A and B are shown apart, each in its own frame.
Chain A
Amino acid sequence: MFDQKKVLIDCLKGKTDAQKKLYEHFAPLMTTVCYRYTKSWYEAEDVLQEGFVKVFNNLEQFKGDGELGGWIRRIMVNTAINYLRKNKKYSQEADVEVVPEQMSKDVSPIAGLQAKQLAEIIQRLPSGYQTVFNLYAIEGYSHLEIGEMLDIGESTSRSQYLRARGILRKWIETELEEAKK
């Protein structure tokens, strides 16, 4: 039973047992969050570790006015962005075929995929596209917010998202077709 209030109080006292409890409660979800922003499990775990160190070192800043999980998730996302920036992942933009965006509301392509498969497909995107896609489609940030976070223009964020979406759609369809064969 995870008693969040008690665990938080004990964590603030620096009790290792409580820190471990909090970690064990949130780490599985946060691992996948970090995985979506990086290119491998190794990188994801590096970001996860860095993120949790920040969480424990700044826990007194959590005001309790929102969900603890959401607060931790924001730290993980910011840590991942810093990690990518530090490792200059943004500059490593691979050549990708730009696919015209079709604003389809069709969700069928992803219906046949598991989360892990889908995450691996997203990982194949250039880091810039991957980050923008994650921030907009999954974290729910607006393009204005994403622009501020990544130090890019709002329109750049929007265009990168549309391109990423188009590329993903094509890749997902290809993946499904190969799976049928």
Chain B
Amino acid sequence: MERNEFEKKLKELFNNWEMPPSPEAWQQIKNRLPKPDENAFFWRKPLAAMLILGLLSVISWYVVSYVNNSTTTKRQASPITINTTNQSAKQNNNRIGSSNNDTELKKDTLNAKVSLNHNRSVLEPLVNKENPSYNTIHNKQTHKKHVTQMDDNTDNVAFNKDIKIEADKNAYLEYRYNDLIAVHPRIDIPFVSNSPSNLLANTPNIKIQPIDASQIRLFSNSTLQPKKMIAGRALQWSIYMDNGASWQSEIPSTPSSPPDYEYNIDELKTIKYTYSYRFGAGITVPLIKNFSISGGLAYTSLSTHRLLGELVNYQSVVRRGNEGFMQVNSYYTSNGPNGMTNQYTTRQNFIEIPVSIGFQVNPQSRLPISLNVGASILKQLYVDDIYYDKQSNIFYKDNALTQPTQWHFNASAQMAVWKNNQFNLNVGPYYQIGLGTAYRESLMNMKRWQMLGIRLNLGFKAK
């Protein structure tokens, strides 16, 4: 049937008819659409970070000392002393003139005398005597403040100069020697006040104590970046990897319940420290003050080495703690021919849900340190374990003897060795210990897992 003028007219009429939908319609549609940008943020960055982290962790495992020397605090063996004293403690006259309006003065201005002494033999190779200087950092901007001269006539190289410091509570001073910079992290604190009157009131109390040599930290110039994100101070995702040694230890018995060694199916003397690892991801949520809480998911592999003899494919009977006797179809002797032994790696792999509380010790520092303690529940995914039967003096394999669900306590210290506004890389020791036995209670095997290692943690700010 051919369409006649009626349909054509109708089509034309309706094709030119428009009516805007209600304003809420778009919002409804938008709410139902996937958010690929957020998904990308959620998955792609962690994936990339995980790869980087894996690489870094391997490197760190072998060259921990090198990493520490190059990225963390370098302490001078020879004594270095920086004396910073407020000599005149005078306010900027112009600011005093406007002191009637206290609110206009946002920063403190102070004239002070900075004196620097150090042992020539230590620092001279680092110092361009022609042009030593110091900088102040204020609101993320570096201001080269002063150039002074060295005194060549003494063993100690020194300079004494009047300086003018504009500082708020976020500022700090650097002393620069060519490519190396000494930082006193707390030098800014005495200068904090909000008004000229406060400044006047506080000035007599300004005392910048001589700085102990251990407080002076020298950084490579390229690593100096003020005001970075600090782990635990913002909502952030993190990815971490632990590399370390794991072992099993006997849980101390209480006098009321001495272990029945007759039934003890294992012995500690054959267990060695073994390489173990963990990798995981989590989220850190800031709590009050410097506290934060973290949670996540991890994959953990714990292992030990056992020294045993040769495999014998013959039936034997072993005792499984107080569960009675069991027949095994093969076993390992406790010693090989002529006393030779083979190494057998037992391994238990877990999926782990750790939760921990963190505390930022020094959040304003250039190398902030956080302490974390927590607990985790581990669900066993894989086991390859071998046991010693004291009565028959053989080792036998039985993967049904382990505790499938375990609780562990963990503690770690983390130092942010690199950070910017989005990321921070933290490194530090990690320790974990089982709160119960690694094996079923009925076996009278009182061993639990322990692990000590280095944690490498990459944090990135959540949107």
Spell out A's residues near B (CB within 8 Å). 13-16, 19-20, 23-24, 27-29, 31-32, 35-36, 45, 48-49, 52-53, 56-57, 103-107, 110-111, 115-116, 118-119, 136-138, 140, 143, 158, 165
Selected from A13, A19, A53, A105, the residue in CB contact (under 8 A) with B6 is A105
For B22-35 the 0/1 string (1 means CB < 8 A from A) is 10011011101111
Question: In the bound complex, what is the Cα–Cα distance between A48 and B28 (angstroms)?
Answer: 11
**B24, closest chain A residue (CB):** A45
Question: In the bound complex, what is the Cα–Cα distance between A53 and B33 (angstroms)?
Answer: 7
Question: In the bound complex, what is the Cα–Cα distance between A22 and B272 (angstroms)?
Answer: 66
Which chain A residues border B29 with CB–CB below 8 Å? 23, 49, 52-53, 56
* Residue B18 CB within 8 A of the other chain: yes
A28 with B3: in contact, given A45-B25, A137-B11 (CB under 8 Å)?
A: no
Contact: A48 with B21, CB < 8 Å? yes
Question: In the bound complex, what is the Cα–Cα distance between A49 and B24 (angstroms)?
Answer: 10
**A33, closest chain B residue (CB):** B14
Spell out B's residues near A (CB within 8 Å). 1, 3-7, 9-11, 13-22, 25-26, 28-30, 32-37
CB distance from B1 to the nearest CB of A (A): 7
**B21, closest chain A residue (CB):** A31
* 20 A-B pairs in the complex with CB atoms less than 8 angstroms apart: A14-B37, A24-B26, A27-B20, A28-B18, A28-B21, A31-B20, A45-B22, A48-B25, A105-B5, A107-B9, A111-B9, A116-B19, A118-B13, A137-B6, A137-B7, A137-B11, A138-B7, A138-B11, A138-B14, A140-B3
A27 with B21: in contact, given A107-B9, A111-B9, A138-B10 (CB under 8 Å)?
A: yes
Which chain A residues border B16 with CB–CB below 8 Å? 115
Question: In the bound complex, what is the Cα–Cα distance between A21 and B442 (angstroms)?
Answer: 68
A106 with B26: in contact, given A13-B36, A28-B20 (CB under 8 Å)?
A: no
Contact: A105 with B4, CB < 8 Å? yes
Contact: A110 with B30, CB < 8 Å? no
CB distance from A156 to the nearest CB of B (A): 14
Which chain B residues border A110 with CB–CB below 8 Å? 6, 9-10, 13
A28 with B11: in contact, given A19-B33, A49-B25 (CB under 8 Å)?
A: no
Which chain B residues border A118 with CB–CB below 8 Å? 10, 13-14
Contact: B6 with A14, CB < 8 Å? no
